[in-house]
Amino acid sequence: MKKIKKIKIKLNGKTKSLPVSTYLSNLLKKLNISINKVAIELNEEIIDKKKINKIKLNENDKIEIVHFIGGG
> Residues with Cβ < 8 Å from 60, sequence gap 6 or more?
7, 8, 9, 10
Q: Does residue 20 surpass a pLDDT of 70?
A: yes
**Which secondary structure element, helix H or strand E, spans residue 24, and what is its range?**
helix 24-30
Task: Tell me the percentage of the chain whose pLDDT exceeds 70.
Answer: 96
Q: What's the rounded Cα separation, in Å, for the pair 38 and 48?
A: 11
Domains of the chain, start order: 6-67 (3.10.20.30)
- In 3D space, the residue among 16, 18, 66, 13 whose CA is nearest the CA of residue 40 turns out to be 66
For residue 72, name the pLDDT band (cuts at 50, 70, 90).
Answer: low
What mean pLDDT comes out for the span 22-42? 94
Q: What is the pLDDT of residue 29?
A: 95
Distances (CA, A) of 8 to 32, 66, 69: 20, 20, 29
